[in-house]
Amino acid sequence: MTASNSCTATRAEFESGTVPIHCSAWPPATLTASYPALEQDIEADVVVIGAGLAGSSVALHLAERGISVVVVEAAQPGDGASGRNAGHVQPFLDALEPLQSWPGQGQPFIDFFIENRNIVFDLCARHGIDGDAVKSGMVEAAYKKQGALETKAARWQKLGYEVDVIGADRLREMLGTDAYSYGLHWREGGQVNPYLFTHGLTSAAAGLGARVFGDSPALSCDKRGQGWIVTTPRGSVRAQKVIICTNGHTGNAFFPELARTRYPLVACAMATKPLPQAVLDTVNPARVALTQYPAGLFPIVIDGRKRMITATIPYPGRADAAQTYFAYFLRYLHRTFPQTRGAAIELESYWTGVTASSSHVYHNDFAKLYEVADGVMALMNLGTWGNVMGPLLGMNLAHAIAAERPQDLLMPVERPASVRFPRLFEFKIRHLAIPAARVADRFGLV
């Protein structure tokens, strides 16, 4: 099935979020560094399985502390959700209540999050990563006053954030539309090319001595003496510690219980061809990362190549219907930004990916840190906000390992536990919430 000019993938690949990574708009035409397969038996202090945002960050921060680390990645860095996402860098947490059960009732994590909320931009600056990261701020835009947004702004203002409640005039100025009359403007956060950022993290780790192997899926993970041996098709790594950061993407045949800890959700994303100048001049001239409140139907960024990138949730069984979702997106654009009617806005790329969430309640969705066995941990289920959480939690985990201070971990360490009704989240979102939100948005009912 052809979904865009260059992407040829099967319906099953679209439906499982595993279309080839070049279907995503984020990889450059000439692919960045590719890492060789592991072809020998080697040793390290720590082996990290999976080079997405989480695994790359763990590796980078371990290497920075002088720990000997090996990364084995099934494909190449960024091949999972990290190379497929919508590029939003969210500087705040959606809810604080679920953190009550975290160490110190979540306060140490909240403090750490606040201190490191600019981690994407900081890491790019520190390691010279060219991730097209722009700290352009974020806008949550609504058709009418929303009490929940006002409460959220007050809460984060108290925590020291520069976030403003804005009205129609300011929204018009920033976004170039009269459609919204109420919203929040977060001065921090913004956007990133998540594929380039993930590659940048991996290559910074490699620069600091981490040994990175691509095309090396971990096939097994077995206890050997005091440590573990992770086997790939043509090699193996013996290490004291194993950190699994596979996001449940291709599954872990060796620890199948991990795949049952998550609510998977297939999401689709698309990029336009570079926009006509008139559109660039009048749509979102502030270049903020834009999301719509409450449903976030079409989060939008305009990237360094002047393309508009958005994401949405496909109908069940119709994840390959690129033209359908692009038509929905255009309808939204034309209605919200009438100046785009008649403009040549064309689809360049369409792809899908899978998110792995720890909760079927959207706002309760926080990443999980599992102790799978003695010496084997898994950092996964980063949900829909991994651009900040992956690097941030990876850094905390790496620092705690390097210092041999498990008490420094900010997340609770849990045993993997199966979620109940794993398809519930997907059913709710794909069958009910998103179709209802599309109708409500179309008729301005929210």
Ligand X SMILES: Cc1cc2nc3c(=O)[nH]c(=O)nc-3n(C[C@H](O)[C@H](O)[C@H](O)COP(=O)(O)OP(=O)(O)OC[C@H]3O[C@@H](n4cnc5c(N)ncnc54)[C@H](O)[C@@H]3O)c2cc1C
Residues that bind ligand X (CB under 6 A): 49-55, 72-75, 79-82, 84-88, 90, 217-218, 245-247, 249-250, 252, 267, 269, 311, 353-355, 380, 382-388, 390
Residue 72 CB, shortest distance to ligand X, in Å, is 5
Q: What is the dihedral of CA 380, 384, 387, 392, to 10 degrees?
A: -50
- Judged by DSSP in three states, 163 sits in strand
Q: What is the dihedral of CA 254, 260, 261, 263, to 10 degrees?
A: 130
Contact between 396 and 65 (Cβ < 8 Å): no
- Judged by DSSP in three states, 80 sits in coil
Residue 362 CB, shortest distance to ligand X, in Å, is 13
Token pair 């519930």: residue: 424
Residue 233 CB, shortest distance to ligand X, in Å, is 10
Residue 325 CB, shortest distance to ligand X, in Å, is 11
DSSP code per residue over 170-200:
HHHHHHS-SS--EEEEESS-EE--HHHHHHH
Q: How far is CA 268 from CA 157, 292, 299, 337, 400, in A?
A: 33, 17, 12, 22, 35
Comparing CB distances to ligand X, the nearer of 49 and 62 is 49
Comparing CB distances to ligand X, the nearer of 92 and 343 is 92
Q: What is the β-pairing status of strands 300-302 and 347-357?
A: unpaired
Comparing CB distances to ligand X, the nearer of 73 and 343 is 73
Comparing CB distances to ligand X, the nearer of 21 and 333 is 21
Residue 178 CB, shortest distance to ligand X, in Å, is 26
Question: Can you name the residues that pair with 237 across neighbouring β-strands?
Answer: 42, 230
Handedness of CA 305, 307, 312, 316 (dihedral sign): negative
Comparing CB distances to ligand X, the nearer of 105 and 324 is 324
Comparing CB distances to ligand X, the nearer of 343 and 434 is 434
Residue 16 CB, shortest distance to ligand X, in Å, is 12
- The gap between the terminal CA atoms of the chain, to the nearest Å, is 36
Q: How far apart are CA 378 and CA 58, in angstroms?
A: 11
Q: What is the dihedral of CA 247, 251, 256, 261, to 10 degrees?
A: 30
Comparing CB distances to ligand X, the nearer of 340 and 352 is 352
Residue 338 CB, shortest distance to ligand X, in Å, is 26
Comparing CB distances to ligand X, the nearer of 146 and 216 is 216
Q: How far apart are CA 337 and CA 332, in angstroms?
A: 8
Residue 145 CB, shortest distance to ligand X, in Å, is 26
